[in-house]
Amino acid sequence: MFWTRHIPENLKHRSLQHANPNGRVHLKMASDLSFVEYVVDQFDADCAVTFKHMFGEFGLYSGAKLVGLICDNRLFVKPTEGGRAFIGVPVEAPPYPGAKPSFLIEHQIEDAEWLSELVRITARERPMPKPKKRRKKS
């Protein structure tokens, strides 16, 4: 899927492809929906993992809690102390430029039991999302 948008001069270095002469850039979504569905299918049903499209990539939720991201077809799990203890020595990397590091899960993606336990631990330690403020009627 491709779409075009105007990129300001100061942000052109962040584009996924070079801008054409009129300043427009063709951007491609980095993660494939089939990969996201594959990862979500790995989790046990009690994890209640769902995904939402966010900023051109995907957020993974266990219930209402954001527990991870899928960016560039790579799985990142939000860091927690329990998750760090469970993994041992986690590989940490930012899911996108400027983001805080998360646990990069590579080889364990196919181990459904291990992955499900990591998400259970992460969901227990992650805070509930803040309630959205209601807009005042004008």
Which pLDDT band, with edges at 50, 70 and 90, does 65 fall under? very high
| Residue that wins the pLDDT comparison between 136 and 76 | 76
Q: Which comes out higher in pLDDT, residue 16 or 40?
A: 40
- Residue ranges and CATH numbers for the domains of the chain are 1-29 (no CATH), 31-125 (3.30.1460.30)
Is 131 or 20 the better-scoring residue by pLDDT? 131
pLDDT at residue 138 in the model: 66
8 exposure class (CB count in 10 Å sphere: 0-12, 13-18, 19+): exposed
Q: Is the pLDDT of residue 23 over 80?
A: no
Per mean pLDDT, which range of 15-19, 72-76, 88-92 is the poorest?
15-19
SS (H, E, C) the chain: CEEEEECCHHHHHHCCCCCCCCCEEEEECCCCHHHHHHHHHHCCHHHCEEEEEECCEEEEEECCEEEEEEECCEEEECCCHHHHHHHCCCCEECCCCCCCCEEEECHHHHCHHHHHHHHHHHHHHCCCCCCCCCCCCC
pLDDT band at 11 (very low <50, low <70, confident <90, very high): very low
pLDDT mean over 31-39:
90
* Residues 91-122 pLDDT 10s: 999 998 999 999 999 989 999 999 999 999 99
Q: Is the pLDDT of residue 81 over 60?
A: yes
**127: nearest Cα among 78, 70, 69:** 78
Q: Is the pLDDT of residue 136 over 60?
A: yes
Nearest-angstrom CA–CA distance, 91 and 86:
13
Mean pLDDT, range 74-84, rounded to an integer: 96
